[in-house]
Amino acid sequence: MARKREACGRCSMSVAVEAAQSQQSDRDRADRDPYGEARIEVEESALRRLSPDGWLSRLSTRVSERVRRLTWGN
């Protein structure tokens, strides 16, 4: 099993990485360590700026607010 697991529900990724790296040496595994310094995570603010879902959501909210103001006069 994986030596180190994240507590955020990504255990399946840990198991997949472990299986894929089972034939590699410790040095090779260290070069491609998903839990190393170069994390796969990004800040929430950066994700909201860059994610199509984030900017589409903001656009949808703005359009909805304007339609509501136009319809109800608020």
pTM check: above 0.85: no
pLDDT bracket for residue 6 (50, 70, 90): low
The pLDDT of residue 24: 74
* Distance, CA of 13 to CA of 33 (rounded, Å): 12
Higher pLDDT, 59 or 43: 59
10-31: burial string, b at 16+ Cβ within 10 Å, e else: eeeebeebeeebeeeeeeeeee
Q: What share of the chain is helix, strand, coil (3-state, %, to 5)?
A: 60, 0, 40
pLDDT tens, residue by residue, 8-47: 555 666 677 777 777 777 777 677 666 666 666 777 787 7
Question: According to the model, what pLDDT value does residue 60 have?
Answer: 92
